[in-house]
Structure 1
Amino acid sequence: MGRVEQKVALVTGGASGIGLASAQLLAKEGAKVVIGDFNIEGAKAAAEEIKANGGEASAIFLDATKEDSIQEAVEFTVNTYGSINILFNNVGGTNLKKDLDVVNLDLDEWDRLMNMNLKSVLIGSRFAIPYMQKAGGGSIINTASTAAVAGDAIRSAYGASKTAVTGLTRYIATQYGKDNIRCNAIAPGLILTPAAKANLPEEVREIFMKYNALPYHGEPEDIGNTVVFLASDDSKFMTGQLLVVDGGHYMTSPTISDVDNYVASLQK
């Protein structure tokens, strides 16, 4: 308890899923949290729940595709709590009907995702860093994806944008490390957020499970605990890193499951 005591955090995309779990855990560990989200009613409900549990939290509307909206969220955080020490750039997404293979993807969708998934990280950091410099340092945490470490049949724009997030993370870490500002990224695997549970059939989840090293899927709290670690002094000598939190999905050889089944068939 108290690993981020009296620190101030802005969590973008904090109304649900990974963002919500991260905001709740940061507040539990002592941070004053601002939840920014396009779903302002969800953000307000999340803030009220944190306050009901003894934490400090506020909510603000955030459109991560709009520079002025991101700036407003950063300035609201500073004006409300006096500083900003933690920025969790968590907004991201894709449209699987448009974000296809390179030949067939919608170019407008490419531009939209580069704006929402990548430029929002740049803009959020751009506005937060001067305040962190005044505060004597801070921690910026960016949500990347396992799509940044392996190719896919579709999601070309999403994967490219998240790969770029990992590169931008290293640039921020390099440029502002001497100001005691750390910047790291997290690449979640399949996390059973409410959206994942609603949109992924059980059969698809089982396919992912087949290639996990661990016998279960991740929960939003698994990423939230990683966020708290990166926000706290527990990780004070870590910067510019990509932490893959995926249950070992991409750690193992992709052939291992099929080879195991083949060996088992020979023993029958």
Structure 2
Amino acid sequence: MGRVQDKVALVTGGASGIGLSASNLLAKEGAKVVISDFNVEGAEQAAEALRTQGYEACAVFLDAGNEQSIIDAINFTVEKYGTITVLYNNVGLTNLQKDLDVLNIDLDEWDRLMDVNAKSVLIGSRYAIPHMQKAGGGSIINTTSMAGFAGDVVRTAYGASKAAVANMTKYIAAQYGKDNIRCNAVAPGLIMTPAAERNMPQEVQDIFAKFNALPYHGEADDIGYTVLFLASDESKFITGQTIQVEGGHYIGNPSMADFQAFLAKVQGK
């Protein structure tokens, strides 16, 4: 208990999945948490659930594609708790119907994903950093994605936007480290949030599992605990880094899974 005692954290996209896990863990380890989400009803329910357990949490509406909405969420946090010392930029969108290959991608969708996935990180950090400077320091944590480190047949804008977040993390860390402000990112692989379980066919899950080094998929808390670590003083000498939490999916030779199947076949297993 108390790993982030008395820190003030704003979590974007905190009503469900990874953001909800991070919000719960931060609150249970002593932070005052503002859960922000476009689904403000869900954010309010999450905050109320924490308050009934004796933790400090509240909710606020956030449209990550709207600069003023981001500013309002930061101002709400500061007005409520006096400062902001942890910012978790977690909002991210993808659209498999419009975010296609380079020849077929919807260019309006490109702009939308860049705004929500990348520009929101810039805006959130831009308006949180002055409060962190006044507080004597802080930790900014960004959700990028393994899609930002490897090519794919679709989701061109998503991958590009997440690559931008990973590199922006380094720039923020380099520019504001002397103010005792750290900035790190977490890059999830496939995380079986409730939404992923609802929307991802078992066949697709099996494709991912084939290439994982570990014999299971990730869960929201696998990212939540990484965020908790990066928000805490346990990580006080870590900045500008992206921690890849992906079950070893990307560490092997891409032919390894098929080669293992071939060996099993010739060995009669």
TM-score per shorter chain, which class?
A: over 0.9
Write out per-residue CA displacement over residues 170-193 of structure 1, whole angstroms, 9 at most, x where no aligned residue: 000000000000000110010011
Write out per-residue CA displacement over residues 93-131 of structure 1, whole angstroms, 9 at most, x where no aligned residue: 111100000010000000000000000000000000000
Matched, 1:223 2:223: yes
Partners in 2 of 1:100 and 1:130 — Cα distance?
A: 38
CA displacement at 1:267 relative to structure 2 = 1.5
> Could you tell me which residue of structure 2 aligns to residue 73 of structure 1?
73
Residue pairs, 1:53-132, within 5 angstroms: 53-132=53-132
Matched, 1:23 2:19: no
Matched, 1:265 2:228: no
> Could you tell me which residue of structure 2 aligns to residue 240 of structure 1?
240
CA displacement at 1:53 relative to structure 2 = 1.6
Letter in 2 for 1:102: V
> Could you tell me which residue of structure 1 aligns to residue 181 of structure 2?
181
Give TM-score scaled by structure 1 length. Answer: 0.99
Write out per-residue CA displacement over residues 121-155 of structure 1, whole angstroms, 9 at most, x where no aligned residue: 00000000000000000000000000011110000
> Could you tell me which residue of structure 2 aligns to residue 48 of structure 1?
48
Matched, 1:210 2:210: yes
Q: What is the percent sequence identity of the aligned residues?
A: 68
Structural RMSD (CA): 0.6
Letter in 1 for 2:63: D
Partners in 1 of 2:158 and 2:129 — Cα distance?
A: 26
Partners in 2 of 1:143 and 1:267 — Cα distance?
A: 43
Partners in 2 of 1:76 and 1:100 — Cα distance?
A: 37
Write out per-residue CA displacement over residues 219-250 of structure 1, whole angstroms, 9 at most, x where no aligned residue: 10110000000000111000000100001111
> Could you tell me which residue of structure 2 aligns to residue 156 of structure 1?
156
Letter in 2 for 1:41: E
Partners in 2 of 1:207 and 1:95 — Cα distance?
A: 20
Partners in 1 of 2:88 and 2:187 — Cα distance?
A: 13
Write out per-residue CA displacement over residues 196-231 of structure 1, whole angstroms, 9 at most, x where no aligned residue: 011101111111011111111111011000000000
Give TM-score scaled by structure 2 length. Answer: 0.99
CA displacement at 1:90 relative to structure 2 = 0.3
Partners in 2 of 1:248 and 1:260 — Cα distance?
A: 16
> Could you tell me which residue of structure 2 aligns to residue 252 of structure 1?
252
CA displacement at 1:263 relative to structure 2 = 1.2
Letter in 2 for 1:90: N
User: What SS is found at the alignment partner of 2:101?
Assistant: coil
4+ long deviations beyond 4 Å = none
User: What SS is found at the alignment partner of 2:239?
Assistant: coil
Partners in 2 of 1:264 and 1:15 — Cα distance?
A: 45
Letter in 2 for 1:99: D
Q: Which stretches in structure 2 are left out of the alignment for 5+ residues?
A: none
CA displacement at 1:255 relative to structure 2 = 1.1
Residue pairs, 1:192-211, within 5 angstroms: 192-211=192-211
> Could you tell me which residue of structure 2 aligns to residue 165 of structure 1?
165
Write out per-residue CA displacement over residues 60-105 of structure 1, whole angstroms, 9 at most, x where no aligned residue: 0000000000000001001001110000000001111000000100
CA displacement at 1:264 relative to structure 2 = 1.5
CA displacement at 1:261 relative to structure 2 = 1.1
Letter in 2 for 1:119: K
Letter in 1 for 2:248: G
Partners in 1 of 2:118 and 2:215 — Cα distance?
A: 32
Partners in 1 of 2:204 and 2:52 — Cα distance?
A: 37
Partners in 2 of 1:20 and 1:38 — Cα distance?
A: 13
> Could you tell me which residue of structure 1 aligns to residue 35 of structure 2?
35
